[in-house]
Amino acid sequence: MNYALIVVNVIIFILMYASGAKASQKWADIYMLTPAYPFLWQFITYAFLHGSLMHLLGNMFFLYLFGNNVNDRLGHIGYLIFYLAGGVFSALGHILAASLFGNTIATPVLGASGAISAVIGAYLVLYPQTLITIVYWLFFIGTMEIPAIYLIIIKMIFFDNIISRSAANVAYDAHLSGYAFGIISILLLRIIGLVEGDQFDLWSMIKRWRHRNLYRNMTAEGIDPYAGKISKKIEVTEVKTEEQKLAEERIASLRQQIMTLITQGNLAQAADLYLELIKEDVVQPLPKQSLLDIANQFMSMGKWAESAAAYEKYLSFYGGYEYSGQVLLMLGIIYARYLPDKEKSLNYLKKAVVKLNDPGQKKMCEDEIKRLES
């Protein structure tokens, strides 16, 4: 569908200028967006018109660059609907800004930039950590790789459309409206599950940030969530307060619920309750198989920090039991690939390689060590 949209834009441009510039302007006037008195069809047709060859080439380059991956995630029909909706919302944003500020209310608008901005906003949500190679020229020409989230937010949104608003014939507000529509709509669709996500998209990054913040707050209170240690001095009294009794009841209830859910096979909800349990008392151990099930569930959900914490707690309580080699291997992989810490990763992998008996796991461990040390 993305290739089809590019082809349609090119064909319309050729038809538009086939009879010369003056004839094309009269032919296309009714299809441009007129903010002062727009017709309904103009909210779609304006996005398929371009004022010059460079205008067309620039827009099609960015549509090609960002659109294919978004097309893959949304599907062909979903992507077409999203693209057209991006054009409509960009037009609405431009008309609203023009009405408020009154400086471009009578100027016709054309170009796919608003719809393409929506596509770029969607790319930001779905592929924020993808590295994009850019060419720069200072005193020499070079290239560098920048994560998409920084390139799009800092350069394309903030610098190009907020700071540098010098060109009189550029619909900056349509661009900003497109970005806003693309980011907000895809993020909402990702949250409610209508758009498939993975552990590298923006919503997963936000959730990981929230969990890291939770652990930082716990650490600030004198708790080490990984080692299960409390560094603050605790004064113990013989008589428990009502608050302490309630806390103990809460912990006992959570433990019971977690064990019931694990027995029922509902590991996702058990993992959520486990996070509540360690907020109440981080040193609370579960039976070794239950704790391992929780750690594996976090791993399958892409919750790397929580998974690492659970695996490390397993080692601290049950390091001498079975599966310790596999747990060490999993920790090494997590810290190598998802929570980048080369020193920790090598430490766990080197411990794992002497404990593993399975040839496939042992080879995986050795290969990871070689990759990290190379």
pLDDT in tens, 277-326: 888 777 667 887 888 888 889 888 999 999 999 888 888 877 666 678 88
Domain boundary (269, 286, 311) is at: 311
Q: Tens digit of pLDDT for each residue in 110-148?
A: 999 999 999 999 999 999 988 888 888 877 788 888 889
Q: What is the per-residue pLDDT for 218?
A: 61
- For residue 50, is it within any domain? yes
Percent of the chain beyond pLDDT 70? Answer: 88
Q: Is the pLDDT of residue 186 over 90?
A: yes
Q: What is the per-residue pLDDT for 118?
A: 96
Pair (255, 302) in one structural domain: yes
Pair (11, 103) in one structural domain: yes
Pair (135, 270) in one structural domain: no
Compute φ and ψ for 227, nearest 5 degrees. Answer: -90, -15
Q: Is the pLDDT of residue 23 over 50?
A: no
Q: Is the pLDDT of residue 234 over 60?
A: no
Q: How far is CA 299 from CA 95, 325, 339, 343, in A?
A: 47, 16, 12, 21
Q: Tens digit of pLDDT for each residue in 214-231?
A: 766 666 655 554 454 555
Q: How far is CA 75 from CA 68, 126, 128, 203, in A?
A: 10, 14, 19, 20
Pair (56, 91) in one structural domain: yes
Pair (252, 328) in one structural domain: no
- For residue 103, is it within any domain? yes
For range 97-101, the mean pLDDT:
80
- For residue 317, is it within any domain? no
End-to-end CA distance of the chain, in Å?
42
DSSP bridge partners of 224: 229
Domain count, the chain: 3
- For residue 22, is it within any domain? yes
**Residue 330 corresponds to which tokens in the numbers above?**
């999993």
E-state strands within the chain: 131-137, 141-147, 223-224, 229-230
**Cα separation of 224 and 86, whole Å?**
46
CATH of the domain at 19: 1.20.1540.10
Q: What is the per-residue pLDDT for 105?
A: 63
pLDDT, mean over the chain = 84
**Residue 66 corresponds to which tokens in the numbers above?**
């960002």
Pair (142, 183) in one structural domain: yes
- For residue 177, is it within any domain? yes
Q: What is the per-residue pLDDT for 8?
A: 96
Pair (90, 22) in one structural domain: yes
Q: What is the per-residue pLDDT for 66?
A: 94
**Residue 358 corresponds to which tokens in the numbers above?**
């399975």
Pair (95, 126) in one structural domain: yes
- For residue 36, is it within any domain? yes
Domain boundary (267, 284, 311) is at: 311
Q: Tens digit of pLDDT for each residue in 165-175?
A: 777 788 889 99
Q: What is the per-residue pLDDT for 177?
A: 94
Q: Which domain holds residue 290?
A: 198-232+239-311
For range 341-358, the mean pLDDT:
87
Pair (331, 356) in one structural domain: yes
Q: What is the per-residue pLDDT for 26?
A: 65
Pair (277, 328) in one structural domain: no
**Cα separation of 187 and 301, whole Å?**
18
For range 159-166, the mean pLDDT:
85
Helices 76-101 and 53-74: angle between axes, nearest 10 degrees: 130
Pair (291, 341) in one structural domain: no
Sign of the torsion formed by the C-alpha atoms of 345, 347, 349 and 355: negative
Domain boundary (311, 330, 362) is at: 311
Pair (212, 257) in one structural domain: yes
- For residue 316, is it within any domain? no
- For residue 290, is it within any domain? yes
- The secondary structure element, H or E, covering residue 345 is helix 342-353
